[in-house]
Amino acid sequence: MCENDTSGQQSKFRLVIIPKIQRMACTGLGFGLIALTSTANADEAARHYRIPLQSLDSGLLRLAADSGMEILFTANQVRGVTGNGLEGDMTPAQALSTLLQGSGVTYHFIDANTVTVAAADPNFRKTGFTNETPKPQSSSETTLPKVRVVAHSEADPYDPGNTNDPYNKSYAVTDSSTSTKTDTPLMETPASIQVIPKSVLHDQQAYRLEDVIKNVSGVQTQHSFGGDYETFVMRGFLQSTANYRNGIRIPATKFDLANVERVEVLKGTSAMLYGFGDPGGFISTTTKQPSADPYYSVEQRFGSYDFYRTEASATGPLSKEHGLNYRMDLSYLDTNSFRNTDKDRIFFAPTLSWQATSDTKLTLSYEHFDENNSYDNGTPAIELSGRGTGNAKLAPISRSTTFMDPNLTNTNTNDLIDFRIDQHINDKIKLNAGTVYSQNQKQWETVYLTRVDDRIPGSPEFGNVNRNYWFGPEKLDSLTAWVNGTFDFETYGVKHKVLLGGEYYNNNFEYQVAFGKIDTINIFRDDNPPGVSSAQLAQYRNQAPGYDIGTESTSKALYLQDQMTIWDKFHIMGGFRYDS
């Protein structure tokens, strides 16, 4: 420690060097923290300063001696920086600001006569600001104010609540609306919900639901009807072919993940809010929304068996003045398989949002899904020891062998229109309503196998199986209209979040299918006839349908839910739903 009694001044100052190594000396200035202290107050009246132009560390030393302020800084942060000269009458705080002006060095008052000085780091920014006016302290002890330092971006890329950031990398999710239809923290939701965010979807390069479900416990993929549906077993229950999009039931369709923000899986019953459904739970995709911040991306993927997938996204404002934003997501898929089948898909989804007022938002979206898929029901199972022995296994044939016709393809087209309005009445009341229309059309051109003959091992018939055809159109239309109101209030110390809503659902399903036997083959022989001939193909397409079925179902529902919070830690949820 070095001390100096400057003649002609009203106070003393001390130069305290705290080196980073176990060494103390006046020459150790560059190793540690420098504290220039005295008893003067930086809020005192203006006085005359005359400090010539010199290095910043020398200028700070001179200013501390002349003003009586306690200035804290590290020599490494100001080495090589030139400060401004001072000439004139000013307060200590004004003198410090003038000395540092244009140097790239910032300062912050801790108390009335203590200030910290540090070089501004271009890679970081300070988000917790305090008043830079010196304030007197009530005691000799000083507590530094809380300062949060984050990366130099508009938001933390690992913030689980910042889902609108396209660069968000967080795997953590804190909120979900699947179980409650309200934005509720998962910790306060009395249901088992697992959410797979977009960072996981991107890192795993997922483009179909079965890729995502591998991350979810208690859920497995199930028979997909040759790749034309996506079905799952959840908690031991077979799920129907109805999946959910933004919490709305979309029956008998497949989803492309190009416009999916995240996938939410509710395990267990959901009848209180969603009505009839599967007891094991359901899967709901949440779609990406337009953003006022421009963002563009293009991805090209390559893989085995001629796998090619292109994804492109664009979003941004159409009119910032009127709050009109757009989004466009599209994808193209073309892939073969080790089983001599192929698939191609085109998907695009434009979305418009209009912030009509600060409390009113309207969103209109459209999706088009068009896929051609070669049907394949997999390798047949067989009981090698004879039927009834109970040891059925996959037949001992090459896994690449398929008995279908790769030249036949099923077409699957789905068009969806979604409109919703969100109205913010006040901090206690929120309303939203919408309607979703989906039309799914399929054209079946399928060859499939019946059960393999495994009654008598070693017989000429052992391994025989019938090949059958399934030709014809299928069409399914669904319409859902809904309205929800959320009301927050408190009664006798109990906080309530009440959801009151109604839903109308209509479903029309029809198909005309011709089916029958083509021939009999043996799965262990290599001389099986080729696929369907052109003559057979024409015959099957023109044959009268064996099934000509049309059904319509309609439901109307009212539901009520109350989420109660007691003592800010005890959460109770109850409600009911009436379906007609």
Tell me the helix, strand and coil percentages in the chain, rounded to 5. 10, 50, 40
Say if 231 falls within a structural domain: yes
Q: How far apart are CA 542 and CA 545, in angstroms?
A: 9
Same domain, 216 and 277: yes
Contact 554, 267 (CB under 8 A): no
Same domain, 103 and 186: no
Same domain, 28 and 83: yes
In the predicted structure, residue 32 carries a pLDDT above the cut 60: no
Contact 216, 196 (CB under 8 A): yes
Same domain, 129 and 181: no
Which stretches within 88-197 are classed as H helix? 92-100
List the 2-4 sheet strands across, edge first: 2-4, 13-19, 32-37, 70-74, 114-119, 105-111
Question: Residue 26's pLDDT is what?
Answer: 34
| Residue 455 amino acid letter | R
Say if 338 falls within a structural domain: no
Question: Residue 160's pLDDT is what?
Answer: 67
Cβ atoms within 10 A of the Cβ of 568, count?
7
CB-count exposure of residue 571 (10 Å: 0-12, 13-18, 19+): middle
Say if 99 falls within a structural domain: yes
Same domain, 68 and 182: no
Q: Which residue has the tokens 């022995």?
A: 389
CATH of the domain at 125: 3.55.50.30
Q: What is the DSSP secondary structure assignment for residue 163, as one 8-state letter? A: T
Question: Residue 161's pLDDT is what?
Answer: 64
Question: Residue 364's pLDDT is what?
Answer: 97
- Give 564's pLDDT tier (boundaries 50, 70, 90): very high
The phi and psi torsions of 537 (rounded to 5 degrees) equal -60, -45
In the predicted structure, residue 28 carries a pLDDT above the cut 60: no
Nearest to 509 by CA among 475, 554, 479: 475
What average pLDDT score do residues 181-197 get? Answer: 87
CATH of the domain at 218: 2.170.130.10
Say if 20 falls within a structural domain: yes
Same domain, 15 and 118: yes
DSSP bridge pairs for 115: 71, 109
The phi and psi torsions of 57 (rounded to 5 degrees) equal -65, -35
Nearest to 49 by CA among 99, 120, 10: 99
- DSSP character string of 223-273: --GGGTS--EEETTEE--S-EEETTEEETT----GGGEEEEEEEES--HHH
219-235 pLDDT tens trace:
988 877 777 888 888 98
Same domain, 121 and 212: no
Q: What is the DSSP secondary structure assignment for residue 187, as one 8-state letter? A: G
Say if 19 falls within a structural domain: yes
In the predicted structure, residue 437 carries a pLDDT above the cut 60: yes
Question: Residue 176's pLDDT is what?
Answer: 85
In the predicted structure, residue 7 carries a pLDDT above the cut 70: no
Q: Which residue has the tokens 């200028």?
A: 59
CB-count exposure of residue 522 (10 Å: 0-12, 13-18, 19+): middle
169-185 pLDDT tens trace:
888 888 888 878 888 88
Same domain, 122 and 196: no
- DSSP character string of 517-542: EEEEEETT-S----S--HHHHHHHHH
The domain total for the chain is: 2
Q: Which residue has the tokens 């070095």?
A: 2
Say if 295 falls within a structural domain: no
Least confident of 35-49, 218-232, 302-316: 35-49
Domain end: 287, 318, 335, which one?
287
Q: b/e string for 274-305 if b means 16 or more Cβ within 10 A?
A: bbebbebbbbbbbbbbbbeeeeeeeeeeeeee
Claim: this prediction has a pTM higher than 0.75: no
Same domain, 197 and 273: yes
Higher pLDDT, 502 or 46: 502
Say if 65 falls within a structural domain: yes
Which stretches within 254-374 are classed as H helix? 271-274
Same domain, 179 and 74: no
Nearest to 559 by CA among 312, 138, 273: 273
Higher pLDDT, 59 or 6: 59
Mean residue pLDDT of the chain comes to: 82
Is residue 63 within a helix (H) or strand (E), and if so which, with residue range?
helix 56-67
In the predicted structure, residue 245 carries a pLDDT above the cut 90: yes
Least confident of 141-145, 285-289, 333-337, 542-546: 141-145
Residues 6+ apart with CB under 8 A from 463: 382, 395, 452, 453, 454, 522, 523, 524, 525
Nearest to 61 by CA among 46, 73, 76: 73
Q: How far apart are CA 564 and CA 561, in angstroms?
A: 10
Same domain, 124 and 218: no
Kindly state the percentage of the chain with pLDDT values over 90.
36
Domain end: 136, 166, 196, which one?
136
57-82 pLDDT tens trace:
888 888 888 888 888 887 777 777 87
Domain end: 229, 257, 287, which one?
287
Contact 560, 500 (CB under 8 A): yes
93-135 pLDDT tens trace:
888 888 888 777 888 887 777 888 877 655 544 444 444 455 4
Show the domain range for 50: 2-136
CB-count exposure of residue 252 (10 Å: 0-12, 13-18, 19+): buried
What average pLDDT score do residues 491-513 get? Answer: 94
Bridge-based pairing of strands 114-119 and 70-74 is parallel
Stated length of the chain: 580
Please report, for residues 29, 100, 118, the alpha-carbon distance to residue 104 in angstroms, rounded to integers and kept in the order given. 21, 8, 9
Q: How far apart are CA 285 and CA 201, in angstroms?
A: 12
Same domain, 192 and 98: no
Nearest to 317 by CA among 291, 295, 298: 291
Q: b/e string for 443-462 if b means 16 or more Cβ within 10 A?
A: bbbbbbbeebbbeeeeeeeb
Q: How far apart are CA 13 and CA 71, in angstroms?
A: 11
- For residues 369, 345, 228 and 244, what is the CA-based torsion angle, rounded to 10 degrees? -40
Say if 57 falls within a structural domain: yes
In the predicted structure, residue 2 carries a pLDDT above the cut 80: no
